[in-house]
A and B are shown apart, each in its own frame.
Chain A
């Protein structure tokens, strides 16, 4: 009975946390973009435009759902749901604090990667099911991009698994003691290339979340709106929200693997606040990058992955193995 109440309260908690994030990350992004661009961003609806997400949500929900004549109805309808479900599910495994974790899996890391790759599939389904050539091109691009970037991401994550000897996300955090020099990013005794691994992982999560400079799936200059060209109303809204959900997950995973999760950098008061602080800092970096850089080409993107990131990750993996064996 106690367990049931615990799970129920966590479910409500996750839903609330997720809802808040999905609504307000959009606001943060627009406000941030505004200030990067010498303008104010949303400001009319509510103080500082804080009610803007509600207004947007209402607008999207009240719009008519139009299914294009060319579309494959079943695929068209299920793609936005399919992209949202794994994004929500993944929050079950994220340890926000030492004891603030809905469900502790001893294979949490695998679960993260497994569900994250469903996102690529749903983009393909959405692109294919829309019956639009632009969407189709975008869907094909998104899949080859996801394949290309999951490999270096996984190879880098294996480093961490080798160092910590565990796939339990909470255990990975526990092993990175309090004080920031114990974080995996600075653990040069395990592998001298650790900061670079962090960078590789960060770039890969940028690509995984389909954000500028790697937003090949959207590419509004070339492919109109990419895989969600044909979606209106809440179909589009779900894609939009899934992007932010994936953003939060990507940043959480980076925080867990490299930045010590809920561990305190200065040795006092470890807890969820540190986790949120680190995560939102990374989210802010994502926003910052998005509004600063132009987009790469699709070819440039694949070149970066196959010619630089993957070979580097392999070398890094070998090096880490060597370090662990020797020292």
Chain B
């Protein structure tokens, strides 16, 4: 029997979720074939916010490509800055001053907390609880203010430079960050009390959206999705960069493979980021924040270079082929959400519509980063 006749027998219908839909957090479109309330087949359709970032990397000079780094994943832009800086520094063999590396880690971790906070709030809002978002936003504002004071922007950061960072941090930032950590730490148990322990939430998350480690490997899923499936993989540990090897932190891993596990990984990562920031502030050395003798017009040597960082949503890596000119010959961006969302098609088969959207939220997609 042809699939068309079959679908007539079961009376399926097509539903377009997105590109304008509250659950898709932007312009993701999911074409769903529904069998009543159950999902028969779901196909994410990407490209609604495709801006050719990779091509832009190929026809702009190395310095001109900086602003693009803030516009991929607008929620954890500093990690993307970090990746690009690392990539070119590796190619040019620039040695970054110690203080700059610490500042990079501090800002990147602040940015990670901020991203997870919004992810937490928006996720609960997907499930119909509006209030936690506002609590998360309150804390997030503090981080944005702190980052604004050193980077000059609140969302699309362009703070790093080849060989260091654009701006040194001052005492206000350091005391402000310490005060924030002190204020933020006791908030997490409150979130758990208000949200995580809720019967309705547990009912909606536990056992919903199972993603096995095999499936993660098949689609290349990383970040909280992979760590929620029991795989201890984090670029900060597995391919250490910057000063992460000198800092003491844990990688939260949950073996349950469900939405709750992914949610808990994010919550625990916020605590770990607090630990990292505190240690980095304690160890912060004096010195310059920019390497000396970084040429204005960069011409990395010929070759094939690669650098990866752990962004809030998973592994972000950049690969460039340089032909020795002032632009890249080929620029390739590997963004985490693209891989994470690609497993949605397989994992959502046979799910209820409401569960599938709860599952999609637990992948925490950021669409501009996926479409690039």
Q: Which residues of A contact B (CB under 8 A)?
A: 33, 36-39, 133-134, 137, 212-213, 215, 219-222, 224, 291-300
Contacts and interface: CB of A to CB of B under 8 A. Distances in A.
Contacts of B200: 213, 293-296, 300
Given A37-B134, A219-B354, A298-B37, A293 B204 contact: no
Among B125, B201, B354, chain A packs the most CB atoms within 10 A around the CB of B354
Given A133-B13, A298-B352, A291 B131 contact: yes
B21 A224 contact: yes
A212 B127 CA distance: 11
A219 B131 contact: no
Contacts of A296: 200, 203-204
Contact of B131 (A36, A133, A300): A36
B128 A221 contact: yes
Given A37-B135, A293-B198, A293-B200, A298 B354 contact: yes
Interface residues of B, number: 29
B126 interface: yes
B251 interface: no
Interface string B106-135: 000000000000000000111111110011
Contact of B125 (A215, A221, A222, A224): A221
A299 B352 contact: yes
Q: 9 shortest A-B CB distances, which residue pairs? A: A295-B128, A294-B129, A37-B134, A294-B127, A221-B126, A297-B354, A294-B128, A221-B23, A291-B131
B130 A291 contact: yes
Contact of B353 (A212, A222, A292): A222
Contacts of A221: 22-23, 125-128, 357
A30 B322 CA distance: 57
A144 to B, nearest CB: 10
B148 interface: no
B250 interface: no
A36 B131 CA distance: 7
Interface in B312-370: 352-355, 357
A291 B135 CA distance: 12
A222 B354 contact: yes
A295 B130 contact: no
B15 A133 contact: yes
Contact of B352 (A291, A294, A297): A297
B239 interface: no
20 contacts: A37-B131, A37-B134, A39-B134, A133-B15, A137-B353, A221-B23, A221-B357, A222-B353, A222-B354, A291-B130, A292-B131, A292-B194, A293-B200, A294-B129, A294-B200, A295-B128, A295-B129, A297-B203, A297-B204, A298-B354
A251 to B, nearest CB: 22
Contacts of A293: 128-129, 198, 200
Nearest to A291: B131
Nearest to B208: A297
Contacts of B131: 33, 36-37, 291-292
Q: State the majority secondary structure of interface residues on A.
A: loop
Nearest to A212: B128
A224 B22 contact: yes
A190 to B, nearest CB: 30
Given A221-B126, A294-B127, A298-B354, A137 B37 contact: yes
Nearest to A223: B353
B138 interface: yes
B136 to A, nearest CB: 10
Given A221-B22, A293-B198, A299-B352, 12 more contacts: A38-B135, A134-B15, A137-B353, A215-B128, A219-B354, A220-B22, A221-B128, A292-B194, A293-B200, A294-B129, A294-B195, A298-B354
A33 B135 CA distance: 12
A67 B135 CA distance: 39
Contacts of A137: 37, 353
Contacts of A39: 134
Nearest to A218: B128
A28 B166 CA distance: 48
A298 B354 CA distance: 8
A38 B37 CA distance: 36
Contacts of A298: 37, 352, 354
B184 to A, nearest CB: 14
Interface string B276-292: 00000000000000000
Contacts of B126: 221
B134 A38 contact: yes
Contacts of A219: 128, 354
B40 to A, nearest CB: 14
Interface in B86-112: none
B223 to A, nearest CB: 23
Contacts of B127: 221, 294-295
A296 B198 CA distance: 11
A300 B248 CA distance: 43
Nearest to B13: A133
Contacts of B355: 297
Contact of A294 (B22, B124, B357): B124
Contacts of A37: 130-131, 134-135
Contacts of B128: 212-213, 215, 219-221, 293-295
Nearest to A293: B200
Given A221-B23, A221-B127, A222-B354, A294 B134 contact: no
B42 to A, nearest CB: 13
A294 B37 contact: no
Contact of A222 (B129, B195, B357): B357
Contacts of A36: 131
A295 B203 CA distance: 10
Contacts of A292: 129, 131, 194
Contacts of B357: 221-222
Interface in B38-91: none
Contacts of A133: 13, 15
Contacts of A222: 23, 353-354, 357
Contacts of B124: 294
Contacts of B135: 37-38
